[in-house]
């Protein structure tokens, strides 16, 4: 229903037709960027987890795929994978392995990959998509975080969409 919705909003919007279309284009570009960056980050984090747990005798491919899917769930997704695995290893007597898996997942995947590498992934995807939107990758990253804290799971989508709409509207009033 994309065209129907676009036509409806163009008809009822007090904005000029070109400005309504620009709002939709900017929002569409940001949503594509968020979708691809979320997908690639999930795959990357899954690979990091799968390769690491393979050293402890687990099926690396299986756990890479499972962690990738679980990491799509904000905040608790990764915990749903590494906590039971660490508890299992602790219960079977491998206390060092349990601690190493927990620390690796928290430090390398949650802090380094999710906080520092994800903005780099967003920037790379923006360049590869020839995205003309003028949003800083860090702004998109922080809008995802703000959306998560405000709207929960749907904040991954709503945060960047609201931010891009806000910035697009501000551009209309820029008199330069």
Residues 37 and 118 sit within 8 Å (Cβ to Cβ): yes
- Number of other residues whose CB lies within 10 A of the CB of residue 94: 16
Residues of the chain with pLDDT under 70: 131-134, 175-176
pLDDT value for 170: 79
Question: What whole-number distance in Å separates Cα of residue 161 and Cα of residue 168?
Answer: 10
pLDDT value for 76: 84
Helix (H) / strand (E) element for 22: namely: helix 17-54
Question: What whole-number distance in Å separates Cα of residue 144 and Cα of residue 167?
Answer: 15
Question: What whole-number distance in Å separates Cα of residue 113 and Cα of residue 99?
Answer: 19
pLDDT value for 151: 83
pLDDT value for 74: 74
Summarize pLDDT for 70-120 with one digit per residue, the tens.
988 877 888 999 999 999 999 999 999 999 999 999 999 988 888 888 888
pTM, two decimals, is: 0.78
Question: What whole-number distance in Å separates Cα of residue 3 and Cα of residue 162?
Answer: 20
The closest alpha carbon to 30, from 174, 167, 172, 175, belongs to: 167
Question: What whole-number distance in Å separates Cα of residue 146 and Cα of residue 161?
Answer: 12
């Amino acid at each position: 229903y994309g065209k129907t919705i676009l036509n409806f909003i163009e008809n009822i919007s007090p904005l000029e037709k070109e400005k309504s279309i620009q709002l939709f284009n900017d929002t569409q570009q940001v949503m594509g960027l968020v979708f691809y960056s979320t997908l690639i980050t999930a795959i990357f984090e899954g690979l990091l987890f799968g390769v690491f747990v393979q050293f402890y005798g687990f099926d690396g491919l299986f756990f890479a795929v499972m962690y990738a899917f679980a990491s799509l769930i904000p905040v608790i997704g990764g915990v749903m994978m590494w906590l039971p695995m660490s508890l299992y290893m602790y219960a079977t007597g491998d206390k060092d392995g349990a601690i190493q898996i927990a620390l690796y997942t928290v430090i390398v995947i949650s802090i380094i990959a999710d906080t520092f590498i994800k903005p780099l992934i967003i920037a790379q995807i923006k360049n590869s998509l020839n995205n003309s939107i003028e949003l800083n990758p860090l702004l998109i990253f922080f809008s995802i975080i703000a959306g998560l804290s405000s709207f929960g799971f749907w904040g991954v989508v709503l945060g960047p969409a609201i931010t891009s709409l806000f910035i697009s509207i501000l551009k209309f009033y820029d008199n330069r």
